[in-house]
Amino acid sequence: MRRAIQGQEGLLFILPALVFFAVFVVYPIIYIARASLLDWNGLAAGTWVGLDNYTRLFRDDPIFHKTLRNAALWTLLTIFPQMFIGFGLAVLLNGPILGRTIYRAIFYLPAIVSPIVIGIVWQRIYDPFGGLLSDVARRTALPWLSQPFLADPGTATLATIVVNVWQWTGFSMLLYLAGLQGLPGEVLEAARIDGATGLQRLRQIVWPMLRPVHLTLILLGLIGALQTFALVFILTRGGPNNASQTMPTYIFQQAFQLSSMGYGAAISIVLLAIALIASLGQMRFLGSRFVVGQGD
């Protein structure tokens, strides 16, 4: 009996985590998956419709197709700009600059501010009637800065993407700083002695050695791009004319504003599937080593 208990000690230690995972992750997924097969308003008993919600989603819903396009735009136009700008800032602030600790804090600050606060602030900045950009436009020869970026279907998505890049570039900078400070100094010194310029060291030695940080930022950025809600909702509410609609904002609109819980659940399951496939694909084709594995 005692040996049997000792053999199960490991299971006993992870049992609380397994229970929490089952209650707060597995059960909600099963519940939402079942709800996606119903015509349900969230209050009355639902009517079984099978895969009709999914058929309507992919065949008859142009707004959902627009959210897929916006998801691709968010992925491409947020992940890589954040990485490149963050890397540049990390290289600058890793050097002997006076007050670099203050600069690091300033650049990282937006990442810890509530997206709601950021959305409200940038609404004022984008405001074509008295906002910061419109004031700059009046004082310079740049009248295009005073256009209603958030009210124009052609610029609303890009305007929200710019805010997202501004918000999270500091987070990329922080990870790159950690990676730079963990690089072996003797390798960089040997390259310097061999005559490599600073740019050559960055491009041929530092950048490849930071591969685990790149992969971490790509994975986190991918997940973040797919689940962006608060910033878009505050800035545009998915408008104008659904131009900046993302899957999370569309889920909210269908489930809670239009009382179509079954349809919203179907969108949620599709979003979950896309996130899983994209994350597993990234780990399969780009590698699964992250920052913690840098010294392996």
Q: pLDDT tens digit string along 30-39?
A: 999 999 999 9
Looking at residue 282, its pLDDT comes to: 77
pLDDT band at 169 (very low <50, low <70, confident <90, very high): very high
278's tokens:
């994209």
Counting the structural domains of the chain, the total is 1
Looking at residue 295, its pLDDT comes to: 38
Looking at residue 190, its pLDDT comes to: 85
Does the residue 121 lie in any domain? Answer: yes
Q: Reduce the DSSP state of residue 39 to 3 states and report it.
A: strand
Specify the CATH number for the domain of residue 137: 1.10.3720.10
Dihedral, CA atoms, 275, 277, 281, 283, nearest 10 degrees? Answer: 60
Tens digit of each residue's pLDDT (9 = 90 or more) over 258-273: 999 999 999 999 999 9
Q: What is the DSSP letter of 36?
A: T
Closest CA to 222 of 77, 22, 47, 38: 77
Looking at residue 13, its pLDDT comes to: 82
Q: What is the DSSP letter of 46?
A: P
For residues 272 and 264, is the Cβ–Cβ distance under 8 A? Answer: no
Does the residue 101 lie in any domain? Answer: yes
Does the residue 127 lie in any domain? Answer: yes
- Whole-angstrom Cα distance, residue 262 to residue 254? 9
- The packing angle between helices 27-35 and 261-285, to 10°, is 130
Kindly tell me if the per-residue pLDDT of 6 is higher than 80: no
Kindly tell me if the per-residue pLDDT of 7 is higher than 80: no
pLDDT band at 286 (very low <50, low <70, confident <90, very high): low
Q: Which helix (H) or strand (E) holds 284?
A: helix 261-285
Looking at residue 15, its pLDDT comes to: 87
Does the residue 267 lie in any domain? Answer: yes
Kindly tell me if the per-residue pLDDT of 229 is higher than 90: yes
Kindly tell me if the per-residue pLDDT of 127 is higher than 50: yes
Looking at residue 287, its pLDDT comes to: 60
Kindly tell me if the per-residue pLDDT of 251 is higher than 80: yes
Residues above pLDDT 90, as percent of the chain: 60
Residue 99: give the domain boundaries.
63-293
Kindly tell me if the per-residue pLDDT of 248 is higher than 70: yes
Looking at residue 97, its pLDDT comes to: 84
257's tokens:
């504003």
Kindly tell me if the per-residue pLDDT of 215 is higher than 70: yes
Does the residue 170 lie in any domain? Answer: yes
Tens digit of each residue's pLDDT (9 = 90 or more) over 48-57: 998 999 999 9
Kindly tell me if the per-residue pLDDT of 1 is higher than 70: no
Kindly tell me if the per-residue pLDDT of 2 is higher than 70: no
Question: What would the mean pLDDT of 174-203 be, rounded to a whole number?
Answer: 85
Q: State the average pLDDT for the chain.
A: 88
Tens digit of each residue's pLDDT (9 = 90 or more) over 61-120: 999 999 999 999 999 999 999 999 999 999 999 888 888 889 999 999 999 999 999 999
Question: What would the mean pLDDT of 225-240 be, rounded to a whole number?
Answer: 92
Does the residue 223 lie in any domain? Answer: yes
Does the residue 15 lie in any domain? Answer: no
pLDDT band at 237 (very low <50, low <70, confident <90, very high): very high
Looking at residue 203, its pLDDT comes to: 86
Distance set, CA 287 to CA 33, 209, 216, 284 (Å): 30, 14, 10, 6
Does the residue 286 lie in any domain? Answer: yes
